[in-house]
Structure 1
Amino acid sequence: MEEENASPGQPLNNNNDDDEQDDLGVPTGNDDAAYLSWNEEVEFELYYLLGGDEDNVNSNEANDDEGNRSDAESGRQSKRTKRFNVEQLAVLEAKFKACPHPDTDERRELGMRIGLEERQLKDCGDENKDMFQENATLWAENKKLRRQLLQPSCIRCRGSIALPTQATPEKTRLLVQNSRLKDEILCAKAYLNKHIVCGADQPPPSAQATLVSHAERAMKEFVMLATASEPMWLSTDSGGGDGEALNHEAYIVKTFPGLLGLCPRGFVEEATRDMEMIKGTAMDLVTMFTDVRYWSEMFPGIVASVSSSNVISTGSLCLRDGLIQLMNVDLWVQSPCLLTRRIKFLRFSKMMASGKWAVVDVSVDGIHGAEQTGCRLLPSGCLLQDVEGSGYCKVTWIVHAEYDEATVPPLFRPLLQSGQALGASRWLRSLLRQCEYMAVLRSSHVESSSSSSDISTLGRRGILELGHRMTASFYAAVSGPIVVPSSNTVHEWRDSTGTGAERIEASVRMATWNCADIVPGLEPAVTVVSATTTVWLPDTPPQRVFEYLSDLQRRAEWDAHVNGGAVEGLGSVATSTYSYGNAVSVLRPTTTSADKDGRSSNSMLILQETSIDASCSLVVYSFVEESLMRGIMDGGDSSAVFLLPSGFAILPDGRGKAHHNAANKTSGTPNPSNSSSNSGGSLLTVAYQAFAREAFDAAGQRICRAIKMIKAAVGASDIIPA
């Protein structure tokens, strides 16, 4: 994973406590540390950018040139050098290109914007114009002389001479001057590419102009989509009755042939819109979305990695108005059966009015040789509007994507097409849940349950940070591609248990890896076995599965580690003030027995995080030595604790409403193949990780046993392996 995502358990803001922070826990616009690296100033000589004579010719050539130049030419070269920073040069270049002769008011306004006097701007524009005119005159004169010299004539008869003539001193001087002019242009271009283009991977300036135009066209289409109503958008029952789906016919009529052209063969469309109220301001959210580190940490269950983020246009650096970034991003869904979705896109941030912003994403597939990927984003993003006096921001989110359906297994296609995997509702619910989590983490007083008397105030914050790191590691184990050294292995393990209607089949991805590859310096360097699988539970709502797995009194039914006994809670910290069931807890098995190494089972405590919303539910846990956990509960450091998380990710199957109360279970035997059923099913991903004292068979059988117990407890009619 890239550097931006390398420390998921660390706070989003490492500034001192005196620094200003917003409701989301990110630095405000007044915090200089919050600016990106592209905000740093670099000074350079404008004169040398255009090419100084003394840098490109030797002294003899310079003397010859001086003998042939007029006094006016010498006077122009003696002008005083002016110094500009990168932002000033960019603004000046854009302004004089659009308007070569700005009037007094325009110069005064431009000077106030970039910190220069009107006289400096006038001198700069006049000097720039003079230099270009002089350069054009020299080129024209040189071209005329070259044409005459290349076609010599007889002085007496003025007729053409076929025989070549010997080079004259004047021709030699012109050739030298021509070579120097070419060198000056090459030097200027090289300097521009080095100091104005942000990053070695950036496209050339000509391509940048195309990308800026592409982003501006995407902004217009996005605003149209964000503010349109029926028939452009139609309500849908997907995702618990909220959200809207795009009317494809109305969209085609409005936008044909489209910004990216026709949909590629074999691709399908996913287009959803949703709205939510988020605590904070529009500027808070824009600051977070334009800093890739904060952005990826706010969506750990969706954003796998951000491999690059280059700046195409800086816009207004202070407000991020007009900022255009080129990004390479991998998105994932919590299942080992789905490939990560790789997208290369532009992110354009624009202030529409006071307290109103738009952040738009659009793919660059096919632009200036960009490769065609398996997924492309049509204008997508969010419209942010402050609700005056409430402290909240109204967020309208749109995801409009086209992806290669052949890359998605048939069992998961309804989930992707409904938008419940990577659609608008998924992004908004994840944002809302993470904002609540971070608000609790960064508050001066962390709320706890009535059973948290064993956890100190500092300990509650340490428990939250440890739970955040554990869940991020779980996402990587379940969703991430297995990239291991050649000494490690990846296998597929298949088995079945039971007979008839009780038969359970599973295809489990098995991987072994060395702890030292993940945690350098960890002693002893032991091997870990990681087993993951996904099954479909038709007509079994995700909420019903979540309630069973988070019930401490029934944990012994599926968790062999608790030795058939109950589990008691030592304390928990709620991660949401609105949603019941979102918490990080410390648990202890009540039974006592010894494992094969002679350790007592009650010497280990269980750290567990549970979270639920309409898009995804999680039950993630890891065993921790009691002495270490007690120290964290008392306020000790949690960064040195090694976690090996196991657990469950529960997704809606996309075939019906995501939420369905357990009391509303339909009677009769449901048909698993009937996708029109009103009660949605669940896609259950199970992950089990342990030190490799167990064989593959033992790990696989442990997963099969857990799935079998879940099926019986929630009344699932069938279990279908992915």
Structure 2
Amino acid sequence: MYGAGDLLRSISASSEADKPMILELAVAAMDELIRMAQMVEPLWMTSLDGSTTVLNEDEYIRTFPREVRPKQNGFKTEASRESAVVIMNHMKLVEILMDVMTAEFQVPSPLVPTRESYYVRPSGCLIQEMPNGNSKVTWVEHADEVDERGIHHLYKQLVSSGHAFGAKRWVATLDRQCERLASAMASNIPTGDVGEGTKSVLKWAERMVISFCAGLSASTTHTWTTMSGIGVDDVRVMTRKCVDDLGRPAGIVLRAAASFCLPVPPKRVFEFLRNEKSRSESAYSSKSNMMILQESCTDPTTSFVIYAPVNIVHMKAVLNGSDPDHVPVLPSGFAILPDRAGIGDSSSGGSSLLTVAFQLLIDSDPTAKLSRQSQRLTILLIALLRR
């Protein structure tokens, strides 16, 4: 079990005088987090649709009294709690979560700005050892001064409900990632499968997902140039010059992304899109040296179907255990979220918020100028999907 004292290891010697104050704040925050994770009503309430647990702000102020500052216009407090049993040893999970990181959270859509992790209220999780090497995780997400300005009306309810950035999504993502790691480390691979090759393909697919998500929102981490004045307002078209990037082909990459609502349940959309027979891949199947690498994953908050054309030579090399980080890939695909989050069983009813994104290498020369024809072609592809 790690305590607040572990935080002191990351404080430089020049901050020696601040250590007592930081330790006091850390201990108080940990105490508040533990109490919030274990308390029930009236501190926590079930949302009207029964899909998540949300904070009773009045009860919170009575339980944890402190100075209450007036909120700026357009800002609010978000707090939620979620629990799940994940496939990972409790000590290994603590070790991973103790890694220092700077986080930028995103909804997979160009219509929702990214959110950087500035926490005024204690957030975090309790991890309980469970049988068979599993862990029970209780996650508390408590963010103050959340800026909801700049969010498209399609996603307003999803974000304000806490489903976009709240504890439910944290736990769902953690659960999915633990399953992925368990698959990569599985020792009971059937005879005939290539163990190292399977791990390499999983690593390759994970990098493909990261690359796909990187250009969906206005991230400060990934540098893209947004193109304007090329047609449809709700289609974001961006370009990126790739030089000395082993994970992408050299040249100018054009990316187009759009989000829209479909009157179809998320589960049906996911099942349709993940079926390779639902997509026309004649452009790749006609080339004997090309294959399609596809990653399909789903959880209660988000579903992804991401794919990329890959050279068969590269595929064979990865299956033989080669490092996939050196293989260029340009993924395209879909992100599916429930509309009006959590109303009833969103998997079997309701509508979907669908984001579709394409990436194209439009010129192998990074210094070339972008043609208007390439931009219009990409917008046309998305316009056809919207019909």
Partner of 1:542: 266
Q: Which has the higher contact order (CA 8 A, sep 6+)?
A: 2
Q: Secondary structure at the match of 2:305?
A: strand
Determine whether 1:438 maps to 2:181: yes
Partner of 1:458: 196
- Between the aligned partners of 2:218 and 2:229, the Cα distance in structure 1 is 18
Distance 1:555 1:484, change over 3 A: closer
Q: Secondary structure at the match of 1:250?
A: helix
Distance 1:476 1:243, change over 3 A: same
Determine whether 1:256 maps to 2:65: yes
Is the CA contact (8 Å cut-off) linking 1:512 and 1:527 kept in structure 2?
Answer: yes
Partner of 1:706: 385
Partner of 1:503: none
Matches within 5 A, 1:76-155: none
Tell me how far 1:609 sits from its aligned partner.
Answer: 0.2
Tell me how far 1:636 sits from its aligned partner.
Answer: 4.1
Distance 1:456 1:386, change over 3 A: closer
AA of the residue aligned to 1:262: R
Distance 1:519 1:634, change over 3 A: closer
Q: Secondary structure at the match of 2:107?
A: coil
Partner of 1:368: none
- Between the aligned partners of 2:282 and 2:179, the Cα distance in structure 1 is 32
Partner of 2:313: 627
Tell me how far 1:426 sits from its aligned partner.
Answer: 0.5
Partner of 2:355: 685
The one of 329, 333, 345 aligned to 2:107: 333
The one of 57, 62, 80 aligned to 1:272: 80
TM-score scaled by length of structure 2 = 0.85
Tell me how far 1:640 sits from its aligned partner.
Answer: 2.3
AA of the residue aligned to 1:643: V
Percent identity reads 32
Matches within 5 A, 1:241-640: 241-257=50-66, 261-266=68-73, 267-292=75-100, 306=101, 328-344=102-118, 363=119, 377-387=120-130, 389-402=131-144, 403-446=146-189, 456-481=194-219, 489-492=225-228, 495=231, 507-516=234-243, 518-519=245-246, 525-537=250-262, 539-556=263-280, 561-562=281-282, 589=285, 592=286, 601-640=287-326
Distance 1:392 1:460, change over 3 A: closer
AA of the residue aligned to 1:341: R
Is the CA contact (8 Å cut-off) linking 1:484 and 1:513 kept in structure 2?
Answer: no
Post-superposition Cα deviations, 1:164-204, rounded to whole Å, max 9, x if no partner, equal: xxxxxxxxxxxxxxxxxxxxxxxxxxxxxxxxx8338x7x3
- Between the aligned partners of 1:245 and 1:380, the Cα distance in structure 2 is 14
Tell me how far 1:424 sits from its aligned partner.
Answer: 0.8
The one of 28, 32, 45 aligned to 1:234: 45
Tell me how far 1:685 sits from its aligned partner.
Answer: 1.3
Partner of 2:12: 199
- Between the aligned partners of 1:686 and 1:277, the Cα distance in structure 2 is 32
- Between the aligned partners of 1:631 and 1:223, the Cα distance in structure 2 is 48
- Between the aligned partners of 2:166 and 2:269, the Cα distance in structure 1 is 23
Q: Secondary structure at the match of 1:692?
A: strand
- Between the aligned partners of 2:344 and 2:70, the Cα distance in structure 1 is 29
Distance 1:407 1:699, change over 3 A: closer
Q: Secondary structure at the match of 2:216?
A: helix
Tell me how far 1:476 sits from its aligned partner.
Answer: 1.0
Tell me how far 1:606 sits from its aligned partner.
Answer: 0.6
Number of aligned residue pairs: 373
Distance 1:483 1:511, change over 3 A: farther
Is the CA contact (8 Å cut-off) linking 2:338 and 2:346 kept in structure 1?
Answer: no
Deviates more, 1:613-622 or 1:269-278: 269-278
Unaligned residue ranges in structure 1 (runs of 5+): 1-27, 30-35, 40-196, 293-305, 307-327, 345-362, 364-376, 497-505, 564-587, 593-600, 666-678, 709-722
- Between the aligned partners of 2:90 and 2:225, the Cα distance in structure 1 is 47
Post-superposition Cα deviations, 1:672-716, rounded to whole Å, max 9, x if no partner, equal: xxxxxxx3x3221111001115610001111221232xxxxxxxx
AA of the residue aligned to 2:355: T
Post-superposition Cα deviations, 1:572-631, rounded to whole Å, max 9, x if no partner, equal: xxxxxxxxxxxxxxxx73xx3xxxxxxxx3431110100001111001111111222133
Q: Secondary structure at the match of 1:466?
A: helix
Post-superposition Cα deviations, 1:312-357, rounded to whole Å, max 9, x if no partner, equal: xxxxxxxxxxxxxxxx43222212222221234xxxxxxxxxxxxx
Distance 1:263 1:545, change over 3 A: farther
| RMSD (Å) for aligned C-alpha atoms | 3.1
- Between the aligned partners of 2:133 and 2:225, the Cα distance in structure 1 is 52
Q: Secondary structure at the match of 2:28?
A: helix
Tell me how far 1:287 sits from its aligned partner.
Answer: 1.4
- Between the aligned partners of 1:602 and 1:262, the Cα distance in structure 2 is 64
- Between the aligned partners of 2:243 and 2:259, the Cα distance in structure 1 is 28
Tell me how far 1:410 sits from its aligned partner.
Answer: 3.2
Is the CA contact (8 Å cut-off) linking 2:336 and 2:352 kept in structure 1?
Answer: yes
Which structure has the bigger radius of gyration?
1
Tell me how far 1:382 sits from its aligned partner.
Answer: 0.9
AA of the residue aligned to 1:418: S
Partner of 1:220: 31
